Amino acid sequence: MDITPVAGALGAEISGIDLGAPLSDAVIADIRSALLEFGVVFFHDQDFDASAHKSLARRFGEIFVHPFFVPGDDPEIVNIIREPTDTSIVGQDWHADTQMVPQPPMGAILYGVDVPAYGGDTLFANQYLAYEALSDGMKRMLDGLRAVNSDRLVAGPGHGRSDNRATKARQDADWRETYNLHPVVRTHPETGRKALFVNHSYSVGLENMSEDESRPLLAWLMDWGHRPEFTCRFRWRPGSVAFWDNRCTKHLAIDDSHRVRRVMRRVQIAGDTPS
Ligand code: SIN
């Protein structure tokens, strides 16, 4: 297998592997090690169905069932669909996935089923670099600080995000907000490196402060986390795959594939309690 970095900050393309075929433990270990090194790994020209997709994900951990998307036939699969008439899309703000749960997913494997000829790229940002580039004073200030992470900006009645979107988050009256405190700077359980862990979709405040008081620092940290020098951009082809480490990266789906259908299939992998 060949590994080619795609940017200075993060991301590498892996070639020479058929992800739909049975893979040896050694190959899985090599993919995991590339994921830990590069934060997100990309593959092209893959061809596997939902069942093989789930089998692949299970080689890296248990499958995480998404808590607020309206489920399709299989709750372990999220189909992320943009219809030509949609005016908003899933993941259009910078985020780490599902950060409001007690144990956010360790990662996700996203497969491009039907992708536009151009547009609809995905951006990724390295949150180790975002943390490491902070001043010593800021690092000291963030030490021990926790953020409130909630899904109220992206699900529930009244948030409106799903109104003009094929892939729906729950908006029914029985939906209840999920929120949890997580460290603003988490330590990656496998690499031991520190990473910034706040994002626009889920982080709504800082512990023991009002949301108004929290906003300036939180907003600055969230914007800082995707400065261009911390990012890479992935251009999809049908059959491309992105596998990201959700513990040390953020991502954003670019909302620029207007009037074109885009279909992605995602399986998430369970994670641990951030510390
Ligand atoms: C996501 O946020 O997981 C979706 C990314 C994409 O559709 O490119």
Q: Which domains does the chain have, with CATH numbers?
A: 2-269 (3.60.130.10)
Instruction: Give the whole-angstrom CA distance, residue 221 versus residue 196.
Output: 8
Q: Calculate the alpha carbon distances from 82 to 111, 205, 222, 261 in Å.
A: 14, 30, 26, 5
Token readout for 216 is: 């300036």
Check pocket membership of 112 for ligand 1, CB cut-off 6 A.
no
172 in catalytic set: no
Q: Which residue, by CA, sits nearest to atom 2 of ligand 1?
A: 91
What's the gap in Å between 90 CA and the centre of ligand 1?
6
Token readout for 66 is: 């998404």
pLDDT tens per residue across span 68-116: 787 788 999 999 999 998 888 888 999 999 999 999 999 999 999 999 9
Token readout for 272 is: 């641990």
200 in catalytic set: no
pLDDT of 161 over the 80 cut: no
Residue among 32, 86, 97, 182 flagged as catalytic:
97
What's the mean pLDDT in 222-240? 98
pLDDT of 230 over the 90 cut: yes
Check pocket membership of 264 for ligand 1, CB cut-off 6 A.
yes
Closest by CA position to 253, among listed 64, 6, 130, 82: 82
| Alpha-carbon radius of gyration of the chain | 18
Check pocket membership of 196 for ligand 1, CB cut-off 6 A.
no
Residue among 82, 182, 247, 266 flagged as catalytic:
266
From the alpha carbon of 251, which atom of ligand 1 is closest?
2
CB atoms within 10 A of CB 239: 17
Give me the pLDDT at residue 253, please. 96
Q: Using DSSP, state whether 241 is helix, strand or coil.
A: strand
pLDDT of 160 over the 80 cut: no
Check pocket membership of 253 for ligand 1, CB cut-off 6 A.
yes
What's the gap in Å between 100 CA and the centre of ligand 1?
17
Check pocket membership of 81 for ligand 1, CB cut-off 6 A.
no
Which of 5 and 90 is assigned the larger pLDDT? 5
Does the reported pTM lie above 0.75? yes
